C-alpha cells in the first residue's frame, strides 16, 4: 500500500511539472517586440514628485522602435551585452567631478535600477541606452 501511494504521488508531481513552462517570456508590447520603459530620475529638489529634469521614454527591440530617439543603437547595445544591466561602455569620455546624482530605472522586459554620480557618468557608462 505504501509503494502505491508513493508511486501515485510521484506520478502526480511529474504530470504537474510537465505542464509548467520552463522559462518566463519577456514582456512584449506587440507580437515579437520586447518592450522597456526607461526613466532618468534626478535627485534635485528632494524626494517626492516628478522633477523638471526627470525623463521617460519607451524602447521596443526586435524590431527597434518606440519613442526612444536612438532606438536602433540602444537595442544593438542591449543585444551585444545581453541586457541593460550589463551594458558598460568604454568610451573614455571625460566628466567633471560634480556630484549631481541621477538614477536610471528600467521596467518591462527587464527590471533594473542604478545611480550614477552625474549625467555625464551615466552616458559614458550606458551609451545610447539612456541618451534621450
CA distances 116 to 51, 77, 81, 121, Å, are 17, 19, 19, 6
Whether residue 46 is contained in a domain is answered as: yes
What nine digits make up the cell of 122?
A: 551615466
Does any domain span residue 114? yes
- Using CA atoms, how far residue 123 sits from 56, 74, 77, 95, 118, in Å, is 15, 12, 13, 10, 9
Domain span including residue 72: 26-130
- What SS3 class is residue 62? coil
Tell me the C-alpha distance between 50 and 42, whole Å.
Answer: 9
- 10 within domain boundaries: no
Tens digits of per-residue pLDDT, 39-82? Answer: 999 876 444 444 556 999 999 999 999 999 999 999 999 999 99
Residue 12 included in any domain: no
Lowest mean pLDDT of 24-28, 31-35, 84-88, name the range. Answer: 24-28
Cβ atoms 130, 112 nearer than 8 A: no
Q: Which pLDDT score is estimated for 18?
A: 36
Average confidence (pLDDT) over 20-37: 50
| CATH code at position 75 | 3.30.350.10
Q: Is the pLDDT of residue 126 over 90?
A: yes
> Cα separation of 19 and 103, whole Å?
40
Q: Is this model's pTM higher than 0.75 or not?
A: no
Residue 86 lies in a domain: yes
Please report the pLDDT score of residue 93 as a whole number. Answer: 81
Residue 126 lies in a domain: yes
How many structural domains comprise the chain? 1
Mean pLDDT of the chain: 77
Question: Does residue 9 lie in a domain region?
Answer: no
Determine the average pLDDT of the residues in 95-122. 94
Amino acid at each position: 500500500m505504501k509503494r502505491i501511494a508513493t508511486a501515485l504521488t510521484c506520478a502526480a508531481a511529474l504530470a504537474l511539472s510537465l505542464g509548467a513552462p520552463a522559462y518566463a517570456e519577456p514582456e512584449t508590447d506587440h507580437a515579437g517586440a520586447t518592450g522597456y520603459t526607461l526613466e532618468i530620475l534626478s535627485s534635485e529638489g528632494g524626494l517626492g514628485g516628478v522633477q523638471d529634469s526627470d525623463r521617460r521614454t519607451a524602447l521596443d527591440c526586435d524590431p527597434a522602435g518606440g519613442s526612444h530617439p536612438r532606438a536602433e543603437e540602444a537595442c544593438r547595445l542591449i543585444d551585444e551585452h545581453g541586457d541593460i544591466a550589463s551594458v558598460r561602455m568604454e568610451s573614455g569620455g571625460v566628466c567633471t567631478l560634480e556630484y549631481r546624482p541621477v538614477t536610471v530605472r528600467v521596467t518591462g522586459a527587464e527590471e533594473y535600477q542604478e545611480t550614477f554620480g552625474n549625467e555625464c557618468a551615466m552616458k559614458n557608462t550606458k551609451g545610447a541606452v539612456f541618451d534621450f
